[in-house]
C-alpha cells in the first residue's frame, strides 16, 4: 500500500514534477499538494538559509496533517551581489512573487558589472519531516551566468536571465523536460530520493 506524503506547495506543476521523479525511482508514494488541505495556513519563511526555510515548511505541514511532508526553498545567488537575492529571491523588489519586478531589479543592479563578473547559481534545499520528529534536508545547485536582457518564455522567475554553465540558452529557452533534468530543484528532489527510501521503507 502506498504511503501518502504531502508536498508543501499549492503549485500543481511542482507536484507533477516530483511525482515523475518518485515514479522513476520506483517509490510507491501517493504525493499530494497542500490544496488537499484548504485550512492549512501559509508558513512564514523566517529562516536565514534555504535549508532552514525548507525544514520549517516541512515540519509545519507535517504537524498540521499528521503525515510525512516534503518542502523546498530556492532562489538565485548572484556573485556580484554578495550572494543576493538569495532567500529573498521571491520578494527582492518588495512584493512577493512579482517575477518581472524582481528580475528587472537584479538587472538594474548589474548594469555596470562586466560579463566575466556576472556569475551566479540557483540553489534549492529540499526537506522531509516525519510525524515521529525525524527530519532531513538535501540541496541542489546549478551554476551559470546572468545575462543583460531576458530571453525565452518557458521559464519563470529569474529563468530568462540565467544561462547554465557550459550552455548558450537561458533556462527559459530550453524545453521543460531538459530543464527538469538539470535544474537546482530537480537536482535537490533527486537527492531526496535515497532519503525517502531510507525513511519511508515499510
- Show the beta-strand stretches assigned E in the chain: 3-7, 29-33, 69-78, 119-129, 135-146, 162-164
Determine phi and psi for 90, rounding to 5 degrees.
Answer: -75, -15
Among this protein's residues, is 73 annotated catalytic? yes
Say how many CA atoms lie within 13 Å of 99 toward its Cβ: 10
Active-site annotation holder among 35, 42, 73, 148: 73
- Show the beta-strand stretches assigned E in 134-196: 135-146, 162-164
Q: How far apart are CA 129 and CA 134, in angstroms?
A: 6
Catalytic site residues? 73
Amino acid at each position: 500500500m502506498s504511503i501518502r506524503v504531502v508536498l508543501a506547495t499549492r503549485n500543481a506543476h511542482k507536484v507533477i514534477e516530483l511525482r515523475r521523479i518518485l515514479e522513476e525511482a520506483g517509490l510507491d508514494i501517493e504525493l499530494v499538494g497542500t490544496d488537499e488541505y484548504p485550512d492549512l495556513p501559509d508558513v512564514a519563511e523566517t529562516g536565514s538559509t534555504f535549508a532552514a526555510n525548507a525544514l520549517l515548511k516541512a515540519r509545519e505541514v507535517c504537524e498540521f496533517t499528521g503525515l510525512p511532508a516534503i518542502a523546498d526553498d530556492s532562489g538565485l545567488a548572484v556573485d556580484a551581489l554578495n550572494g543576493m537575492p538569495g532567500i529573498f529571491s521571491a520578494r527582492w523588489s518588495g512584493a512577493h512573487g512579482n517575477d518581472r519586478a524582481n528580475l528587472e531589479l537584479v538587472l538594474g543592479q548589474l548594469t555596470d558589472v562586466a560579463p566575466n563578473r556576472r556569475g551566479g547559481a540557483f540553489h534549492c534545499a529540499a526537506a522531509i519531516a516525519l510525524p515521529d520528529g525525524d527530519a532531513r534536508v538535501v540541496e541542489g545547485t546549478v551554476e551559470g551566468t546572468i545575462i543583460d536582457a531576458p530571453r525565452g518564455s518557458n521559464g519563470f522567475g529569474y529563468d530568462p536571465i540565467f544561462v547554465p554553465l557550459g550552455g548558450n540558452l537561458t533556462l527559459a529557452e530550453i524545453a521543460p523536460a531538459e530543464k527538469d533534468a538539470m535544474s537546482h530543484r530537480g537536482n535537490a528532489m533527486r537527492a531526496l530520493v535515497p532519503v525517502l527510501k531510507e525513511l519511508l521503507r515499510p
